[in-house]
Structure 1
Amino acid sequence: MRDTLFLPPLIAILLLSLAGCASRGELDDEAIARIPDAVPKVEPLAKSGNPESYVVFGRRYFTQKSARGHVERGLASWYGRPFHGRRTSSGETYDMYAMSAAHKTLPLPTYARVTNLENGRRVVVRINDRGPFHDGRVIDLSYTAAVKLGMKRQGTARVEVQAIDPRRRFWSFLPFLADHSEAESDTGRPTRAAASLQN
């Protein structure tokens, strides 16, 4: 009987504690830094979010048949708590602490390496949503991806988005190869790393 009487106040305290944690919001940057990047793997296309084309704000977008070879530069933005727990275009639940992103035309899901051109930081994300529908913006990152790229405070950053083909065994070496793809020797000829990319 004593335990029974004590249980409701204990539950109330626990609930208040959890509510406090939720109201405090985001994990600190140190905790987020320990969240690993997305790990590319072969996946089927999502059952939703991959129409041949779709219209947003009067503009029609055409979904790419393949992400292979996709590289683009532009502004990245990020979206966080107001969308946390909502459904994404692929039908999955948006998690602001996951390494995910939104893109207007790449197939869902697509894995991509995103490089912050302003500070050199890189992350790998899994694209499972559509957006951002703002002129000049090429990708919308999760809160965690934005923190790891060092762009949380300013809200946007110039980035390069490079699609990853998980079927390639050495996709993890892509940043190294990209850094050397245009390198030349003293003779003006491409280096071995650059030449290997051209073959």
Structure 2
Amino acid sequence: MMVGFGKFAAVFGMLAAASGAVSPAAAQSGTASWYGSGHRTASGERYNPNGLTAAHRSLPFGTRVRVENRRTGRSVVVRINDRGPFIHGRIIDLSRGSARALGMGGTTYVSLRVVD
């Protein structure tokens, strides 16, 4: 039973069914990267490198996601306001501020959970 993953599973379940992609369980953890420059996000906001925001390929703008660094156990809640990452194998692209909160240097293995 996926208690606490309801909204996350529902979003990914619909997307997986529509696109023939992998199951929601496979989309809950993977590699995260971060980016520190940009002018505007895909949502139209001005990019704030120190903000607690992130880019995700399919979650709706405004969705709040708890990102946990699986190596250290540190976590941060970010708001999705951009699209990406566009590098194969990565599931989320964090702002510099979000990456700093997780103690990231480059890329790291994370788990994602949508927060209500």
Q: TM-score range by the shorter chain?
A: 0.7 to 0.9
Q: Distance in 1 between matches of 2:104 and 2:33?
A: 8
Between structure 1 and structure 2, the one with the greater Rg is: 1
Q: Distance in 1 between matches of 2:98 and 2:8?
A: 22
Q: Distance in 1 between matches of 2:54 and 2:101?
A: 13
2:96 corresponds to: 143
2:108 corresponds to: 157
Q: Taking CA–CA contacts closer than 8 Å with sequence separation of 6 or more, which of the two structures ends up with the larger relative contact order?
A: 2
Q: TM-score, normalised by structure 2?
A: 0.77
1:114 corresponds to: 67
Structure 1, gaps ≥5 residues long: 1-66, 166-199
Does 2:88 correspond to 1:132?
A: no
Q: Distance in 2 between matches of 1:131 and 1:69?
A: 17
* Greater share of residues in helix: 1
Q: Distance in 2 between matches of 1:69 and 1:157?
A: 21
Show the 5 A alignment for 1:2-151.
68-70=7-9, 72-80=28-36, 82-83=37-38, 86-151=39-104
Structure 1 runs (4+) deviating above 2 angstroms are none
Shift of 1:127: 0.6
Q: Distance in 2 between matches of 1:133 and 1:69?
A: 21
Shift of 1:140: 0.3
Q: Distance in 2 between matches of 1:148 and 1:123?
A: 7
Q: CA RMSD in A?
A: 1.4
State the number of aligned residues: 94
Structure 1 residue matching 2:97: 3-state secondary structure: helix
Q: Distance in 2 between matches of 1:148 and 1:74?
A: 18
Q: Distance in 2 between matches of 1:107 and 1:68?
A: 11
Q: Which amino acid aligns with 1:140?
A: D
* Greater share of residues in strand: 2
1:163-190 C-alpha deviation (Å, 9 max, x unpaired):
112xxxxxxxxxxxxxxxxxxxxxxxxx
